[in-house]
């Protein structure tokens, strides 16, 4: 596994506004091109961790992305390096047409409608086998199509780190298989939150097991997935 | 890959549609209160005729118009009763003014159906962006449409879930209470949802602007439709 540290998290804690502690003293390191699955039962803190990594929530402790600390003043840089695909694509697609939604991130970065963005959007949609959706409204897509468009909208920004929240949830088996094989072909650092053991087994190099906001295990995917007791004890 | 504005061959360019709609609004507002009724009736007739030519789903539009008329009728009746009771004008004049209000409302509704609702939402927003409508207006419309779409779906699924669990007809007050609870739940979901949508926007570098790519080209049909429609409006106002 290549060695450069891309993400470094030290003693990260996060408390929801109602006082519930979502993450407790989480520390982890993710290296370049590593694919890490964050697993755990519902309410373990998986999605919260991803939101913190993208600077969308502010917790206690330290997060560094490519050596830069996630702080308010660095958010523009952080978000240009980290792409987050949300669990529910309805939360993510906010432009009325597929093309406008896919190119949004690039246009926002350049603060103008970039003709290059359209070419890139076409290429990415083609890779995702979604080229026929280009003129469609984002409100009239199926869940699988929405997931593809949401992923395209993040991939077009060429983030160094791809964060995915439950990428296969709600997909039918064929779409799930296709997405797993597509993601495994992406040569980039990837962190994904999932309950899906198949996804973790096929995609992750490493698994971090969270329960009640704490890291209970962190190791190679095969090792963790073969520890049935550990999985059962942690709601998987 | 062909990127198009997704227009049916006879559908107006959304910018033409917007201009026509604004022209109708200006006509309705600027026409003196004493103007003869046939002017608005003529415009209404013209709009419905235009709908036949440019709005591909006219039957759908007419159904909408019927629904809007059903909403307008109680409003007009209310206006009529209140005006008759409170106004010192003779009844004939009151009827005339109420007919003016009713006809003008119908004209606006018909213009909305023909020029605005017959367009695709994404085309309209893109056209507004190209027409340099302030970004905040476009964002409000875009968010409003997105939220209304999402919450309509949530409301439908919540009420379906309620129906699926209703074994027998509940007393009226209990039904009212359950409906209230569902609306409250949807309201809280709306807040939660809006926070997540905003977070997703921020994560993709949202900077307060929306960017639209729609290769609109004004065709001869659009120019002819716009100029002839404006000429007809001017003629109606002039006569």
B194-217 per-position pLDDT tens digit: 888 888 888 888 888 888 887 777
What confidence tier does A91 reach under pLDDT thresholds 50, 70, 90? confident
More confident residue, A190 or B163: A190
* pTM across the whole model: 0.80
More confident residue, A192 or B194: A192
Average pLDDT of span A185-205? 90
- Asked if B146 lies within 8 A of A109 by C-beta distance, the reply is no
| Predicted pLDDT of residue B8 | 45
Task: Kindly tell me the number of DSSP H helices and DSSP E strands found in chain A.
Answer: 10, 10
- Asked if A56 lies within 8 A of B202 by C-beta distance, the reply is yes
More confident residue, B167 or B172: B172
ipTM of the complex: 0.84
What confidence tier does A190 reach under pLDDT thresholds 50, 70, 90? very high
Contact B224, B20 (CB under 8 A): no
- Asked if A91 lies within 8 A of B200 by C-beta distance, the reply is yes
- Asked if B200 lies within 8 A of A137 by C-beta distance, the reply is no
pLDDT at A228 over 50: yes
- Asked if B146 lies within 8 A of A94 by C-beta distance, the reply is yes
What confidence tier does A11 reach under pLDDT thresholds 50, 70, 90? very high
- Asked if A113 lies within 8 A of B4 by C-beta distance, the reply is no
- Asked if B143 lies within 8 A of A94 by C-beta distance, the reply is yes
| Predicted pLDDT of residue A217 | 92
Contact B190, B151 (CB under 8 A): yes
Angle between helices B172-203 and B135-165 (to 10 degrees): 140
Facing B207 at nearest CB: one of A82, A97, A111? A111
The nearest CA of chain B is from the CA of A221 a distance in Å of 28
B117-143 per-position pLDDT tens digit: 878 888 888 888 888 888 889 889 988
Q: Choose among A124, A132, A135, A203: nearest CA to A168.
A: A203
Beta carbons within 10 angstroms of residue B223's beta carbon: 12
High-pLDDT (> 70) share of chain A, %: 99
pLDDT at A210 over 60: yes
The burial class, CB within 10 Å (0-12 / 13-18 / 19+), for A67 is: exposed
B236 backbone dihedrals φ, ψ, rounded to 5°? -60, -40
Mean pLDDT, chain B, whole residue set? 82
- Long-range CB contacts for residues B171-179, cutoff 8 Å, separation at least 24: none
| Predicted pLDDT of residue B133 | 85
Contact A141, A135 (CB under 8 A): no
Strand, coil or helix: A41: coil
| Predicted pLDDT of residue B5 | 47
| Predicted pLDDT of residue A98 | 92
| Predicted pLDDT of residue A2 | 53
Average pLDDT of span B152-165? 82
- Cβ-based interface (< 8 Å): residues of A facing B: 51, 54, 56, 76, 79-80, 82-84, 86, 88, 90-92, 94-97, 99-100, 103-105, 107-109, 111-113, 118, 122, 125-126, 131, 134-135, 137, 139, 153-154, 157
Facing A118 at nearest CB: one of B196, B197, B213? B213
- Asked if A108 lies within 8 A of B209 by C-beta distance, the reply is yes
The nearest CA of chain A is from the CA of B107 a distance in Å of 28
- Asked if B204 lies within 8 A of A88 by C-beta distance, the reply is no
The nearest CA of chain B is from the CA of A93 a distance in Å of 8
Average pLDDT of span B141-165? 83
Q: Which of A54, A72, A94, A131 to mutate to test the interface with B (most CBs of B within 10 A)?
A: A94
B51-95 per-position pLDDT tens digit: 766 555 666 667 777 777 787 788 888 888 888 888 777 878 888
The tokens describing B116, both together, are: 């605005």
- Asked if B121 lies within 8 A of A154 by C-beta distance, the reply is no
Taking every pair of C-alpha atoms in chain A, what is the biggest distance, in angstroms? 54
Contacts of B3 in chain A (CB under 8 A): 99, 118, 122, 134-135
pLDDT at A135 over 70: yes
| Predicted pLDDT of residue A53 | 94
Angle between helices B91-111 and B14-30 (to 10 degrees): 170
| Predicted pLDDT of residue A126 | 92
Distance CA B219, CA A138 (A): 27
Answer whether B148 touches A (CB < 8 Å).
Answer: no
Average pLDDT of span B89-112? 85
Contacts of A94 in chain B (CB under 8 A): 142-143, 146, 197, 200-201
- DSSP-assigned beta bridge partners for residue A215: A210
Q: Choose among A215, A226, A219: nearest CA to A204.
A: A219
A18-76 per-position pLDDT tens digit: 888 999 999 999 999 999 999 999 889 999 999 999 999 999 999 999 999 999 888 88
Place of tokens 């359209």: A118
More confident residue, A27 or B219: A27
What confidence tier does B7 reach under pLDDT thresholds 50, 70, 90? very low
| Predicted pLDDT of residue B15 | 85
Answer whether B154 touches A (CB < 8 Å).
Answer: no
What confidence tier does B161 reach under pLDDT thresholds 50, 70, 90? confident
| Predicted pLDDT of residue B83 | 82
User: How many pairs of residues across A and B have Cβ atoms under 8 Å apart?
Assistant: 100
Distance CA B199, CA B42 (A): 50
């Amino acid at each position: 596994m290549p060695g450069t540290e891309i993400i470094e998290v030290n003693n990260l804690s996060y408390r929801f506004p109602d006082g519930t502690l979502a993450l407790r003293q989480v520390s982890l390191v993710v290296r370049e091109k590593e694919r890490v699955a964050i697993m755990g039962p519902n309410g373990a803190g998986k999605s919260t961790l991803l939101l913190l990594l993208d600077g969308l929530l502010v917790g206690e402790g330290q997060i560094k992305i490519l050596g830069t600390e996630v702080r308010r003043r660095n958010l523009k840089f952080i978000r240009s390096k980290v792409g987050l695909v949300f669990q529910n694509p309805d939360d993510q697609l906010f432009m009325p047409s597929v093309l406008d939604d896919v190119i949004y991130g690039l246009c926002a970065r350049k603060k103008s409608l970039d003709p290059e963005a359209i070419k890139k959007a076409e290429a990415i949609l083609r890779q995702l086998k979604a080229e026929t959706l280009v003129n469609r409204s984002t409100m009239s897509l199926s869940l699988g199509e929405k997931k593809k468009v949401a992923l395209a909208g993040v991939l077009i920004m060429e983030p160094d780190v791809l964060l995915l929240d439950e990428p296969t949830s709600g997909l039918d088996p064929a779409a799930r298989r296709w997405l797993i094989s597509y993601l495994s072909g992406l040569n980039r650092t990837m962190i994904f939150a999932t309950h899906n053991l198949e996804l973790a087994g096929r995609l992750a190099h490493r698994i971090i097991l969270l329960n009640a906001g704490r890291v209970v295990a962190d190791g190679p995917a095969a090792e963790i997935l073969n520890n049935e007791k550990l999985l059962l004890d942690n709601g998987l | 890959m062909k990127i198009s504005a997704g227009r049916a061959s006879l559908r107006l360019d959304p910018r033409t549609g917007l201009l026509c709609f604004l022209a109708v609004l200006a006509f309705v507002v600027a026409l003196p209160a004493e103007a003869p009724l046939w002017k608005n009736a003529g415009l209404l007739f013209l709009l419905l005729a235009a709908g036949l030519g440019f709005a591909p789903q006219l039957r759908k539009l007419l159904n909408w118009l019927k629904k809007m008329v059903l909403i307008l009728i109680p409003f007009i009746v209310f206006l009529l009763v209140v005006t008759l009771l409170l106004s010192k004008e003779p009844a004939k004049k009151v009827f005339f003014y109420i007919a003016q209000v009713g006809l003008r409302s119908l004209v606006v509704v018909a213009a909305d159906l023909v020029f605005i609702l017959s367009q695709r939402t994404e085309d309209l927003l893109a056209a507004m962006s190209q027409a340099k409508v302030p970004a905040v207006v476009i964002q409000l419309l875009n968010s409003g449409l997105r939220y209304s779409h999402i919450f309509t779906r949530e409301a439908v699924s919540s009420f379906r879930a309620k129906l699926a669990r209703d074994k027998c007809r509940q007393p009226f007050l209990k039904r009212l209470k359950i409906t209230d609870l569902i609306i409250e739940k949807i309201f809280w979901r709306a807040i939660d949802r809006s926070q997540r949508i905003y977070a997703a926007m921020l994560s993709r570098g949202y900077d307060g602007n929306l960017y639209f790519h729609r290769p609109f080209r004004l065709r001869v049909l659009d120019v002819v439709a716009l100029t002839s429609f404006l000429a007809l409006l001017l003629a109606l106002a002039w006569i």
